[in-house]
Structure 1
Amino acid sequence: MDILTWTYIIVGLTFALYIGIAVWARAGSTKDFYVAGGGVSPLANGMATAADWMSAASFISMAGLISFMGYDGSVYLMGWTGGYVLLALLLAPYLRKFGKFTVPDFVGDRYYSKTARLVAVICAIFVSFTYVAGQMRGVGIVFSRFLEVEIETGVVIGMIIVLFYAVLGGMKGITYTQVAQFCVLIFAYMVPAIFISVMLTGNPVPQIGLGSELKEGGYLLDKLDGLLTELGFVAYTDSSKATIDVFFITAALMVGTAGLPHVIVRFFTVPRVKDARKSAGYALVFIAILYTTAPAIGAFGMYNMLSTTSNQPIASMPQWVSNWQKTGLIGVEDKNADGLIQYVQNTEQNELTIDKDIMVLANPEIAQLPNWVVALVAAGGLAAALSTAAGLLLVISTSIAHDLLKKSFTPNISEKQELIAARLAATVAVVVAGYFGINPPGFVAEVVAFAFGLAAASFFPVIIMGIFSKRMNKQGAICGMIIGLVFTIAYIFYFKLAPTIESLNWINPGGNDPERWWFGISPEGIGTLGMLFNFIVSFVVSKFTPPPPIEIQELVEDIRIPRGAGAATAAH
């Protein structure tokens, strides 16, 4: 069977599974909708957390970045892996002990202020929409290639699917759907990696294959270094980024993790604090399987891509190039009319342009693996993107229905009305997310990096100081969140968005020029500086304003002893 037929079969079966689970586990109460009733087992929650965490950026884009950036791509690997460890060990038990559904709920109660809650809601919506745009972009890329439709059409299809099970099932439906999605995505990620590792090195373990000798002689990484330097690129194992930028991007990804609302809420779906710790441990193991494999997939993909395209006749291009050209994500132009494809660092001479986001999806085709493997990877990419998109959309709907309506503007709203409001908010959020998926401000991992930077600059300081500082008050938290978020958004907008919008490029006519970055820090890493501003402003303002009430200080003291069930208290 051809790739299209296999794709319809495998993707159709997985979608039927997801929808079936959503119907079976549909939410009947706000507690079901927000935290899956609080009765999920640690193992299932670990799988769901891993699926929530391993988004389109992890599945589709991270190995693609490593393919093209080599050593520099490791910042995403280090930042996202280290970030999850930070979240699981430093924050999760304490937030679970506090017993609130959402980060704005924590901020509102810890800082005894509706204003603080409102600022936190705005931050959560900014972070979540930025993040979900990357997921919808990933969905569009998968559908555009494997169902042979336009990216815009692919995004719309993804919107309909995720809307169905996110709106119907809430967190309960999403949790059990994500268990299935984890199984699909990890199987889809590992199968081609094992295939290609065996083909290139004879070793079935991709992590070992990365450092092994090729069947044709020579070590894989040495060959890649030689091939890339010959073409004018930096060696695969060398870095071209400034050390300060590597540090700031890694830090932004790490601490941004700790402020991601859709990951934090997962720790409220288990019955006890002990179960939250267990599920965090399970999730770390499940996440490590993919993250330790990504460097191997990146290297395999780049080696095979160079072997099948560089200096090859354009008239006999590999089939995978022709397939992806239809999506507009690969471009071939014979600039010197010699009939050969020249892939070189010099942009004026380079004749092959490849979107970084396609490398994982195209990898099985480049290696000429069976068609069912190609279709399986498509299903895995969709599972990764849709699982995270669903979690993010739930955060948005919860922030609006629970934190804005129930806790701020209409406290007398009934549970049924709140559930309807949450579902309506999710519907609107899907539409907005779809728009940003069709018109993204960058490639998938780059967009997601912006979301992590925004989370680092807005949420991390108020959460960490809310747990570990009894002196931190509402004035400091509000000022810190506003300063951190506004500064980070302005920096990203100035260097990334304004130059790409024709009517606004007068704001920054120099474009995204690294020479003009503050201290050499890229927009992907600026969230770390925004976080430092947040910490400083929060600390200074809290020193010159009244301390929190005694009962809040006692509450903070109690949070730091993560014992007991810590049952979520935001339900009715």
Structure 2
Amino acid sequence: MPTAKGFRQQLKRYYLLYTVGFLAFVAVLAFLEHLGLPPRWIGYAFLLFTILIYATIGVMSRTADVSEYYVAGRRVPALFNGMATGADWMSAASFIGMAGTLYLTGYQGLAYIMGWTGGYVLVALFLAPYLRKFGQYTIPDFLAVRYGGNAPRLVGVAAAIIASFVYVVAQIYGVGLITSRFVSLQFEIGVFVGLAGILVCSFLGGMRAVTWTQVAQYVILIIAYVTPVALLSFQITSVPVPQLVYGEVLQEVGKLEEKLFETPAEQEVRGLYRERADAYYEKIMRLPVSLAEERQRLTMRINALKEENAPMREVVALERLRRDLPANAEEARERWDAAMHAAADRGAMPIRHAEAFPGRSEAESSAARLNFLTLMFCLMVGTAALPHVLMRYYTTPTVKEARESVTWSLFFILLLYFTAPAYAVFAKYEVYSTLINTPIAHLPSWVAAWGKVGLVAIEDINHDGLLQLAELSLNPDVIVLATPEIAGLPYVISGLVAAGGLAAALSTADGLLLTIAGSLSHDVYYKIIQPRASTQWRLVISKSLLLVTAVLAATVAAQRPATILYMVAWAFSIAAAAFFPALVIGIFWKRANRAGAVSGMVVGLLITVYYMVRVQFDSVPWLGLRGIGMEPWFGIQSTSAGVWGVPAGFLTIVVVSLLTRPPSREVQDFVEQVHYPQLR
């Protein structure tokens, strides 16, 4: 085995050659496109080439050693751990969802960037070096060692599974979007194709394979993210550094907003959408009579068309509408309520990109400000508590390198997050200047292509043949993936972006699945059920659970439960409420005991999930729950649910710990030993 210095030099040489090889591959595809290679084959080439690379690394890194499988042998240098953490961190939410959210919400979307980057400061100061000094395999492991007994471990396992499962569903959903568009697979099939790529790495080599794959994935995703926006920047401003000219283009976007928002056609369209929302409201108020009237109206029109010998396609279309009507009043209420809110959103005045805390009144502005701050808080604290990220700091050789790797993580994440606001502004400039007021019959092909995937919708509600802004519906998850097509760039750039999005989703999904499987196999099976299990059998259990979890997550993702960023924000709130109080207090307050930690984690988790479910969903049909929705407390959205769970967790741990017996002297001495001596 090479020395530590030789190992680092070897890694640098390998990944430099890999980067050069990938750039050469992109150049070859660009040349072949110029010669006439069809776009579909470019998509296939990127998909197969990148997954083949990841699979090769997974096979070469396969291991049957427990230390290698769970913590990569604790020999990952800080630089490469920072790259792996960056890839692990920059999920489909960061790569696909971040710029899209900034596109739709403008200033408000900066809460994601500020919260996620700020969270790494908390990791560096309060958690990473101390967790590495404890030297365990998983976060539930730390909870069991620090607080004693299996109760903290089991609660930690439950919380890790819930947070990681919600997070991994978002990643697999992103994989489905990419494969369905760029390889022309059905969304549900694309989800399971991407799942195969995820499993190759995490299944064969655990953390060892995942780490070296994630370094390779970071190279691809950062090239893929920066390249199209740099080309777009050069195309618009003649400067290929979008971060430098972002402000100038933002001013141009502001001028376009002034022009587009106030045109008579735009005002007419928004008025029509408000009328539609009012009509749905009337129908909801008159249920169940309105449902019967709607069915009768369609029946009369169908009969009239048949009597007039109208074209069969018109009759069939109306029969389909009648067949698709809600089956009962409760279903009609849910469906029409969603349609009413969608119409009301289109009828409302859009948010100006540079406007901070927008609102039609002081109360609405205050609510926007409060949601900005609470979301930033939840993302920051959730970052410092995500099990799959914190596990990465168990893989470094020393405590010092654990702290250094946090710095490297921040640097590699900065490269993407510093670009995301520019991405949103350049994309919005292109849409506003080239798409709006274009004849609908002459819209570019990408509109129809992404419409088939369900992420773009066009409706000429005023029948003028032109596309008004309110008539265009863009899902935030489409912005990054479609920007090369929006800007008219070569299709190889679209394929490159798809490869980057796939790398981002796969890298995070690998880490999350490993966290779930590790929690179940190591913390439940090995530590509680079968402490004498052999190394080989432990790895068999871990891989089996990983496979089951992955299939379940893919099944849920195929249902399209929410946008990527929403699902990820929920995962952060869950992790923040369940783990952050117990981890921080466990490190810095030796008086915290088992009863306090268990109570705090349970209370924080339950309050967060309760608030999240009741604010976000009016019903959960598969659980038989209907009419469960409630108004948000102080207007705080479900994405910030952790703002209630985190303080409740801290308070519960402190109060219960003070009211019950202190931990043993051995535990208190161990906490002092970890916390106070100089960290080396």
Amino acid at match of 2:186: E
User: Is 1:226 equivalent to 2:258 in the alignment?
Assistant: yes
After superposition, give the CA deviation of every residue in 1:438-464 in whole Å (9 maximum; x if it has no partner).
Answer: 124310011000000001110000000
The alpha-carbon deviation at position 505 of structure 1 amounts to: 6.4
Alignment of 1:103-182 (within 5 A): 103-182=139-218
Indicate how the Cα distance of structure 1 residues 213 and 428 shifts in structure 2: closer, same or farther if over 3 A, else same: closer
Question: What is the CA–CA distance in structure 1 between the aligned matches of 2:106 and 2:595, rounded to whole Å?
Answer: 44
Assess if the C-alpha contact under 8 Å between 1:224 and 1:235 holds in 2.
Answer: no
Partner-residue secondary structure (3-state), 1:311: coil
Question: What is the CA–CA distance in structure 2 between the aligned matches of 1:102 and 1:143, rounded to whole Å?
Answer: 33
The alpha-carbon deviation at position 563 of structure 1 amounts to: 4.8
Residue number in structure 1 paired with 2:502: 382
Assess if the C-alpha contact under 8 Å between 2:180 and 2:190 holds in 1.
Answer: yes
User: Is 1:539 equivalent to 2:654 in the alignment?
Assistant: yes
Residue number in structure 2 paired with 1:321: 447
The alpha-carbon deviation at position 342 of structure 1 amounts to: 2.0
User: Is 1:424 equivalent to 2:541 in the alignment?
Assistant: no
Answer with 243-252 or 437-446: which moved more: 437-446
Indicate how the Cα distance of structure 1 residues 369 and 452 shifts in structure 2: closer, same or farther if over 3 A, else same: same
Indicate how the Cα distance of structure 1 residues 432 and 497 shifts in structure 2: closer, same or farther if over 3 A, else same: farther
User: Is 1:236 equivalent to 2:236 in the alignment?
Assistant: no
Answer with 235-244 or 179-188: which moved more: 235-244
Answer with 36-45 or 370-379: which moved more: 36-45
The alpha-carbon deviation at position 352 of structure 1 amounts to: 2.0
Indicate how the Cα distance of structure 1 residues 179 and 95 shifts in structure 2: closer, same or farther if over 3 A, else same: same
User: Which one has a bigger Cα radius of gyration?
Assistant: 2
The alpha-carbon deviation at position 213 of structure 1 amounts to: 5.3
Question: What is the CA–CA distance in structure 1 between the aligned matches of 2:665 and 2:491, rounded to whole Å?
Answer: 65
Assess if the C-alpha contact under 8 Å between 2:249 and 2:425 holds in 1.
Answer: no
Question: What is the CA–CA distance in structure 2 between the aligned matches of 1:98 and 1:31, rounded to whole Å?
Answer: 15
Residue number in structure 2 paired with 1:569: none
The alpha-carbon deviation at position 562 of structure 1 amounts to: 6.4
Question: What is the CA–CA distance in structure 1 between the aligned matches of 2:673 and 2:261, rounded to whole Å?
Answer: 58
Assess if the C-alpha contact under 8 Å between 2:617 and 2:628 holds in 1.
Answer: no
Partner-residue secondary structure (3-state), 2:488: coil
Question: What is the CA–CA distance in structure 1 between the aligned matches of 2:677 and 2:211, rounded to whole Å?
Answer: 24
User: Is 1:305 equivalent to 2:341 in the alignment?
Assistant: no
After superposition, give the CA deviation of every residue in 1:61-93 in whole Å (9 maximum; x if it has no partner).
Answer: 010000010011111111111112221232101
Question: What is the CA–CA distance in structure 1 between the aligned matches of 2:618 and 2:195, rounded to whole Å?
Answer: 27
Question: What is the CA–CA distance in structure 1 between the aligned matches of 2:483 and 2:381, rounded to whole Å?
Answer: 31
Indicate how the Cα distance of structure 1 residues 117 and 183 shifts in structure 2: closer, same or farther if over 3 A, else same: same
User: Is 1:202 equivalent to 2:238 in the alignment?
Assistant: yes
Assess if the C-alpha contact under 8 Å between 2:254 and 2:352 holds in 1.
Answer: no
Q: How many percent of aligned residue pairs carry the same amino acid?
A: 44
Alignment of 1:51-450 (within 5 A): 51-212=87-248, 219-223=251-255, 225-226=257-258, 229-230=261-262, 232-238=349-355, 239-240=357-358, 242-344=368-470, 351-450=471-570
Assess if the C-alpha contact under 8 Å between 2:54 and 2:197 holds in 1.
Answer: no
Question: What is the CA–CA distance in structure 2 between the aligned matches of 1:416 and 1:399, rounded to whole Å?
Answer: 17
Question: What is the CA–CA distance in structure 1 between the aligned matches of 2:256 and 2:423, rounded to whole Å?
Answer: 13
* Unaligned runs of at least 5 residues, structure 1: 345-350, 511-515, 566-572
The alpha-carbon deviation at position 169 of structure 1 amounts to: 1.3
The alpha-carbon deviation at position 154 of structure 1 amounts to: 1.1
Question: What is the CA–CA distance in structure 2 between the aligned matches of 1:246 and 1:292, rounded to whole Å?
Answer: 19
Indicate how the Cα distance of structure 1 residues 541 and 66 shifts in structure 2: closer, same or farther if over 3 A, else same: same
Question: What is the CA–CA distance in structure 2 between the aligned matches of 1:137 and 1:257, rounded to whole Å?
Answer: 21
Assess if the C-alpha contact under 8 Å between 1:57 and 1:445 holds in 2.
Answer: yes
Higher helix share: 2
After superposition, give the CA deviation of every residue in 1:335-385 in whole Å (9 maximum; x if it has no partner).
Answer: 2221112222xxxxxx22221101000011000111111100000000000
User: Is 1:475 equivalent to 2:601 in the alignment?
Assistant: no
Aligned length: 550
Assess if the C-alpha contact under 8 Å between 2:619 and 2:625 holds in 1.
Answer: yes
Amino acid at match of 2:351: V
Indicate how the Cα distance of structure 1 residues 190 and 469 shifts in structure 2: closer, same or farther if over 3 A, else same: same
Residue number in structure 2 paired with 1:568: none
* Cα RMSD (Å): 1.7
Question: What is the CA–CA distance in structure 1 between the aligned matches of 2:213 and 2:556, rounded to whole Å?
Answer: 24
2:86 is aligned, of 50, 69, 91, to: 50
Assess if the C-alpha contact under 8 Å between 2:617 and 2:629 holds in 1.
Answer: no
Question: What is the CA–CA distance in structure 1 between the aligned matches of 2:626 and 2:400, rounded to whole Å?
Answer: 55
Assess if the C-alpha contact under 8 Å between 1:97 and 1:563 holds in 2.
Answer: no
Partner-residue secondary structure (3-state), 1:158: helix
Assess if the C-alpha contact under 8 Å between 1:2 and 1:371 holds in 2.
Answer: no
